[in-house]
Structure 1
Amino acid sequence: MRDLLAQGHVRGSATPRIVDAVQDELARVWTDAMVINLGDRLPFELAVIEVVTNTVKHARPPGGEVELDLEVEIRPDLLLARLFELGAWPAIIPEGSGEMPNPEAEAGRGLALARQLLTTITCERRDDGNVWTLTLRPEHEAE
């Protein structure tokens, strides 16, 4: 892997406020990694925001709190995000979650969209949380 262009980090409670914090941090990261083409930045950012939003909506057990810890690394040949859901329900990824739901469906698009935008997306259970790993291998030439 080539040199690290930029890094980002956000940690906080899984509430709607963290989505804004993640967007702000990604905007900051891109200022350090301007050589990454917009055609790669936007899908990666959208996928990260979709997964974070999904966590805010679905990961909290009744009466519990979930802490999110997001790490982002940007390299010329790899965009990487690791999202740690600390104290979260075990993630249940339904069969067919990589396909867009019926147009009348009221939910289920976030994970499907993220899967379509990324090179890889994985989720594994560790201790009392989940770890999502999102990658995108840039297809566009650096600007």
Structure 2
Amino acid sequence: MSTPADVRLTLPAAPESLEQVYGMFETFWVQCPDIELHERIRFETATVEIANNISKYVATDDFSITLADRGGEIEALFEDSGPPLRFDPRSATMPDELAESGRGLALACAAVDEVHYHHENHQNIWRLVLRRGAEHTRAR
């Protein structure tokens, strides 16, 4: 098993920042070579969806992401100084199949085992958790 690893990045809240998020994952996966491909895909999908939503919809200048390997689980922690959300992100569902948007949050919730959100000290804080080697359960 790999040793615990953390990778942290602060980015402008702009769609162009997603390329840097993908680059962040390249660094993270090198540090965590024993994470299974299916776990990588699920975790990266969820993380990129949340980063995309922050970049597009949150009124903030920048945001930070920390990716962490905790041995039995991998975690993404997001922080931004935007206003608090006005809905419960855990209630996200897939929109109608003809909808042109609205899948990102529901997809993120479906991809990982835990999605947590709270607003504290003028910060939006998101925490995504994928338990490694465990049967996929969606505890939000």
TM-score (norm 2): 0.86
Counterpart selection for 1:84 from 52, 68, 79: 79
Which AA in structure 2 matches 1:81? Answer: A
Flag the 1:94–1:106 CA change in 2: closer, same or farther, 3 A: farther
Cα 1:125–1:57, aligned 2, differ >3 Å: closer, same or farther?
same
Secondary structure in structure 1 of the residue aligned to 2:63: strand
Report the Cα distance in structure 1 between the residues aligned to 2:16 and 2:3, rounded to whole angstroms. Answer: 28
Match of 2:138 in 1: none
Pick from 105, 111, 129 the counterpart of residue 117 of structure 1. 111
State which drifts further: 23-32 or 94-103. 94-103
Alpha-carbon contact 1:115-1:121 (below 8 Å) kept: yes
Q: Give distance in 2, aligned partners of 1:104 and 1:96.
A: 22
Q: CA deviation at 1:117?
A: 0.6
What residue is the counterpart of 1:98 in the other structure?
92
RMSD: 2.0
Offset at residue 20 of structure 1 (A): 1.1
**Secondary structure of the corresponding residue to residue 104 of structure 2:** helix
What's the % identity of the aligned pairs? 25
1:11 aligned partner, one-letter code: T
Q: TM-score, normalised by structure 1?
A: 0.85
- The secondary structure found in structure 2 opposite 1:69 is strand
d(CA) in 1 for partners of 2:45, 2:78: 14
Q: Which residue of 1 aligns with 2:62?
A: 67
1:6 corresponding residue in structure 2 = 5
Unaligned runs of 5+ in 2: 135-140
Once the two structures are TM-superposed, the CA of residue 94 in structure 1 deviates from its matched residue by 5.2
Higher relative contact order (CA 8 A, sep 6+): 1
Moved more, 49-58 or 73-82: 73-82
The answer to whether the 8 Å contact 1:91/1:123 transfers is: no
CA contact (8 A) 1:118 1:134 kept: yes
Per-residue Cα deviation, 1:90-120 (whole angstroms, up to 9, x for no partner): 1233587432111122221000000001110
Aligned length: 134
Deviation at 1:134, TM superposition (A): 0.5
Which residue type is aligned with residue 109 of structure 1? R
Give the 4+ runs in structure 1 shifted more than 6 A: none
